[in-house]
Chains A and B, each alone.
Chain A
Amino acid sequence: MSQLLRLIYKIRNFFLFVFLQIICFYLIRHNSVYWDVTFFNSSNTFAAKSLELTYNLKEYLNLRTVNKQLAHENAMMRQQLTKFQQNQAPAGIPYTADSAFAGRFEFKVAKVVGNTVNLADNYITIDKGRKDGIEPGMGVICPQGIVGQVMSCNDDFSIVYSILHSKTTVSSEVINQQLRKENNSALGIVKWGGVSPSILQLTTIDRFKPVKKGDSVLTSEQNSIFPSKIMIGRIKSVEAGSNDAFFNIDVKLSTDFSSLIYVYVVKNKLIKEQEKVGSNPIE
């Protein structure tokens, strides 16, 4: 008997091992039983709290990808929205755009990799080029408003004339209640005067149009580069010399160029046809 006990004592560790293994396998088998689900997994408050901590960190690290996804989604939605808007004529006018015209704008997401705002002529570098179907002359916008126009591309990158460039001009339109009521429109050309990176000049709006401080300035319908109704800015001041035919209007730019990250390059699929019909009216 004592020999047996001695033997058992000798292999006591083995018994301990087997006993603990049995507990383990009980846990593995009964993983769905309520009490160990709440204690032996991460819904346990302490475990959940600490895992949440790592997840938050991870979320922060993933912001880059999430941003990219959102930008792509926005581009898609913008495309649909423009198509929808193009299809809608003002009330009372029997006009419907055909689908080729309404869907002529295509949006591509690009990331800004270089940007200046303080020079006399400012340029933006974006990370998409010919490979992604970008060509000189396309418009560039961002969620806040207008950005500029593509100047040149190589295979992977493009240079964009920022709107803060002496050569960029955008056909634009002032919108306010009174103009809409009178069924009138105030078309003009927006240009950068070169002074402050947030102020643009709006010219060729004649002085009998009822425009005033605070009105929105959007891209006009007569624009082959940008879709209509893209925000440019708000009127900051309206001045007119006594002999001038036009107002001198200062527009506060809505785009914050210093915080530009993702932009949309706008491709007008019908631009060739549109230009051809304009330049050779006899043909």
Chain B
Amino acid sequence: MNTRDLFKIGTSFVLYLLLQVFIIRNLVFFDVAFCFAYISIILFLPNNTPTGLLLLFSFLVGLFIDIFYNTAGIHASACLVLGFSRGYILRVLFPTKGLDAELVVSLGGMGTERFVRYILVMTFLHHSYLFFIEAGSLNFFLNTSLKIVASVLFTSFVVFLLHVYFRSLQNS
């Protein structure tokens, strides 16, 4: 963690939150496909971020989103789950035998296939947790599942595109 990393994290935090609150919030397809592209903030944190910091940061991101979505705590909770399981999922998906710190969480560092797999798994985790907590019960299981599947596809697509776009902006 150096100053440059912190600056990068801060920028992505502001950028994705603004995008989510002002634009993506209004994109809902057929009342089932929602997009929560703000999870990119947590997804693409540097791999060597201390877990404690990661958790606090996730909590903060979720809380901010909650304020705008009128869902006190739900997003914060889902983000916490995401932040907590991130390390384990990275370790399971990319077993590097103790070379954790060297894995760069980005398209360039992972290769397209593994990168897409990572996004899909994380998005699925976040959305299934989020929608089931939001539903509060298993009563609307089918409806909730439909929402999850549609939203996972939508969010993953947007997350991927935004990542590629911001990377090309950075390079140019």
Contacts and interface: CB of A to CB of B under 8 A. Distances in A.
Q: Are A and B bound to each other?
A: yes
A25 B77 contact: yes
B26 A40 contact: no
Contacts of B7: none
A27 B73 contact: yes
B80 A54 contact: no
Interface size class for chain A? 20 to 34
Given A40-B67, A42-B67, A47-B67, A24 B73 contact: yes
B26 A58 contact: yes
A42 B72 contact: no
B39 interface: no
Nearest to A14: B84
Interface in A41-80: 41-42, 44, 47, 50-51, 53-54, 58
B55 A16 contact: yes
Given A28-B77, A28-B133, A47-B67, A20 B72 contact: no
A55 to B, nearest CB: 9
Contacts of B119: none
A36 interface: yes
Given A13-B52, A42-B68, A50-B22, A20 B59 contact: yes
A17 interface: yes
Contact of B77 (A21, A39, A42, A54): A21
Contacts of A28: 72-74, 77, 133
Contacts of A20: 55-56, 59, 76, 80
Interface string B61-86: 01100111010111011001000100
Interface in B32-61: 51-52, 55-56, 59
Contact of A17 (B62, B63, B67, B84): B84
Contacts of A274: none
A50 B21 CA distance: 8
A19 B162 CA distance: 32
Interface string A223-264: 000000000000000000000000000000000000000000
A31 interface: yes
A51 B65 CA distance: 12
B163 interface: no
Given A41-B67, A42-B67, A31 B73 contact: yes
Contact of A26 (B55, B70, B73, B84): B73
A24 B80 contact: yes
Contacts of B26: 54, 58
The 6 closest A-B pairs by CB, nearest first: A27-B73, A24-B77, A28-B73, A40-B72, A27-B72, A24-B73
Interface of B: 21-23, 25-26, 51-52, 55-56, 59, 62-63, 66-68, 70, 72-74, 76-77, 80, 84, 133
13 contacts: A14-B84, A16-B55, A23-B59, A24-B73, A24-B74, A24-B80, A27-B73, A40-B72, A41-B67, A42-B70, A47-B68, A53-B22, A54-B26
